[in-house]
Amino acid sequence: MLSAIDTLLDRVTMYRLTVYVLGALLATAAVLAGVGILPFSPVSLVVSVGILSGLCWATNKVLARIFGIPSNVESALITAFILALIIDPIRTPDQLAFYGWVSVLAMASKYILSLKNRHFFNPAAIAVVVTGLALSDTASWWLATTTMLPVTIIGGWLIVRKLGEEAMVGIYVAAALVTAVALTFIDHTSLLSGLQQLLVASPLFFVGGVMLTEPLTAPPTRGLKRIYGIIMGVLMVPQFHVGALYLTPELAIVLANIAAYLMSPGQRVMLKLQAKAKLAPDIYDFVFQPQAKLAFEPGQYLECTLEHAHPDARGNRRYFTIASSPTEKVIHLGVRFYPKGSSYKRSLLALGARRAILGTHIGGDFTLPRDPKKKLMLIAGGIGITPYRSMLKYLIDTRQRRDVVVLYANRSAADIIYRDVLLEAEAKLGARVVYTLTDGERAPHNWAGAVGRVDEHMIKAVAPDYHERTFYLSGPPAMVRAHEDALKRLGVPGRHIKKDSFLGLI
């Protein structure tokens, strides 16, 4: 069952999945309103969604043009849907002013309330905080009801599963529960009532699934994300207060966003295309010149926004692993293309010299261990070699010799890319690189590498000391899961396995 869900999630981008989940929540609410369970009409909800979507889209478009930054339709739609779920559906024309202000403020926060070209507030949360202070109109968080809870939990879980953020969200929920229990004893209130208020009558699960996990406002690494989850969990408890001041959910989110930004300021830069080279029949290497030096660790990823005409359902944002080393002055992105690729991929392939894309949100924990004595085995499938190109190039340039074995699987020899860096790693680092072709019939007659899929037998043959190594797995999600299963059959503990993030269709 989980395998089928993961396969389905692999086919949709993170942002598109969020749109689908929020849309499902709104559709559920419309049905519940239609049968009288929710205290508004389905027509008022539909009208509200339409107004908020139109205002957010128009504001985003105008501000993107003013600031010279690619706009993102999905971003505006996600913000509009969140606002529709947390502020009361429109009933009278008097509410139009509030709708206008909250939409404009939400989108403007992404451009104006930013530091180092990165916004650090959740747009919907900061908008309702500001309108609450200035207009006394704020969010009701009407979706936090018993009848909406099942869809909220299922939808939030799908997003969390897609992002691989189970640890952060689990810690967030645990922190909220511990805080709620502690406060019931401190305030001498009912434990049962306190837990009911937290788990059912508050937007705990909605915030955890949809807003806590937002990549652009969350810290970039696993350790910082767990701290962020604890902070958000404590602040989200309805009983949490400082003296007579009780926090609203939106204020809790904004305060946690500030903490996340202080932990990791981040960057946002324009990347100008310098060159592109065909490395394999369906793989290109794109070389970009950043307008400012990017700070990243070998193996981390970068979100890229490419504005183009008529974006399809997969949107105009993608996450790519950075293939270059921090020691290089340019940014390499290795990209695989498919016959029926997305509008994003088609536009990227057609990108001309000196054209620019927007790079944001560098993050990820798929990085080299601090201890240089650790033995490593880097297993890659196809385009999954990109983080290893970054790591090996960094080790070469900084003259760090480590015990590294690379096992690189492809369908055919023509699919092998970044061979120059792999050969250099063998010559200068003493790394061992083993190539395997999964399609034996396509192996050249003089092929000197292995043939067959990566399994436990091949891993043992390539690295007899596998029990002493830390394994890195990178490639298509299904392949990574297969490699992880093979390692588990060998008895390799989970703490010795690191998997590359896959946040969307690349």
How far apart, in whole angstroms, are the C-alpha atoms of residue 490 and residue 497?
12
Q: What is the pLDDT of residue 333?
A: 96
Under the banding of pLDDT at 50, 70 and 90, the label for residue 164 is confident
pLDDT above 70: residue 118: no
Amino acid, single-letter form, for residue 205 = F
- Beta bridge partners of residue 472, listed in sequence order: 378, 498
417: tokens are: 């890319």
Please compute, for residue 493, the number of CA atoms within 13 A of its CA located in the half-sphere on the CB side.
3
Q: Which of 283, 351, 284 is nearest to 316 (CA)?
A: 351
**Residue 115 neighbours by CB under 8 Å, 6+ apart:** 261, 265
CB atoms inside a 10 Å sphere around CB 281: 10
CB atoms inside a 10 Å sphere around CB 364: 22
How far apart, in whole angstroms, are the C-alpha atoms of residue 423 and residue 425?
5
Q: What is the pLDDT of residue 262?
A: 86
Q: What is the pLDDT of residue 114?
A: 65
Mean pLDDT of the chain: 91
pLDDT above 60: residue 426: yes
User: What is the average pLDDT across 56-67?
Assistant: 90
pLDDT above 80: residue 72: no
**Contact (Cβ atoms closer than 8 angstroms) between residue 53 and residue 80:** yes
Q: What is the pLDDT of residue 369?
A: 95
Q: What is the pLDDT of residue 9?
A: 87
pTM above 0.75, yes or no: yes
User: What is the average pLDDT across 362-375?
Assistant: 92
User: Residues of 117-131 as b/e, b for ≥16 C-beta within 10 angstroms?
Assistant: bbbbbbbbbbbbbbb
Please compute, for residue 320, the number of CA atoms within 13 A of its CA located in the half-sphere on the CB side.
30
Q: What is the pLDDT of residue 504?
A: 47
How far apart, in whole angstroms, are the C-alpha atoms of residue 351 and residue 27?
38
Bridge pairing between strands 497-499 and 283-290: unpaired
**Residue 496 neighbours by CB under 8 Å, 6+ apart:** 469, 470, 471
pLDDT above 80: residue 311: no
Can you give 55-105 as a three-state secondary structure string? HHHHHHHHHHHHHCCCCCHHHHHHHHHHHHHHCCCCCCHHHHHHHHHHHHH
- Beta bridge partners of residue 185, listed in sequence order: none
Out of 65-74, 251-260, 419-428, which region has the weakest mean confidence (pLDDT)?
A: 65-74
Under the banding of pLDDT at 50, 70 and 90, the label for residue 317 is confident
**Contact (Cβ atoms closer than 8 angstroms) between residue 251 and residue 197:** no
How far apart, in whole angstroms, are the C-alpha atoms of residue 394 and residue 398?
6
Longest dimension (CA), the chain: 79
CB atoms inside a 10 Å sphere around CB 427: 10
Helix (H) or strand (E) holding 3: helix 2-10
Bridge pairing between strands 245-246 and 268-280: unpaired
- Greater pLDDT, 9 or 416: 416
Please compute, for residue 287, the number of CA atoms within 13 A of its CA located in the half-sphere on the CB side.
10
How far apart, in whole angstroms, are the C-alpha atoms of residue 317 and residue 306?
6
Q: What is the pLDDT of residue 313?
A: 63
Q: What is the pLDDT of residue 403?
A: 96
Q: What is the pLDDT of residue 506?
A: 37
Helix (H) or strand (E) holding 131: helix 123-135
Under the banding of pLDDT at 50, 70 and 90, the label for residue 116 is low
Residue ranges of E strands in 135-251: 241-242, 245-246
pLDDT above 60: residue 355: yes
Q: What is the pLDDT of residue 306?
A: 87
Give the position of tokens 């690349």: 506
How far apart, in whole angstroms, are the C-alpha atoms of residue 449 and residue 116?
47
Q: What is the pLDDT of residue 505?
A: 42
How far apart, in whole angstroms, are the C-alpha atoms of residue 238 and residue 188?
15
Helix (H) or strand (E) holding 171: helix 166-186
**Contact (Cβ atoms closer than 8 angstroms) between residue 69 and residue 75:** no
**Residue 245 neighbours by CB under 8 Å, 6+ apart:** none
Bridge pairing between strands 268-280 and 283-290: antiparallel
Give the position of tokens 């009912």: 190
**Contact (Cβ atoms closer than 8 angstroms) between residue 405 and residue 391:** no
- Greater pLDDT, 295 or 226: 226
How far apart, in whole angstroms, are the C-alpha atoms of residue 74 and residue 23?
12
Q: What is the pLDDT of residue 37?
A: 97
Query: What are residue 455's phi and psi, to 5 degrees?
Result: -140, -175
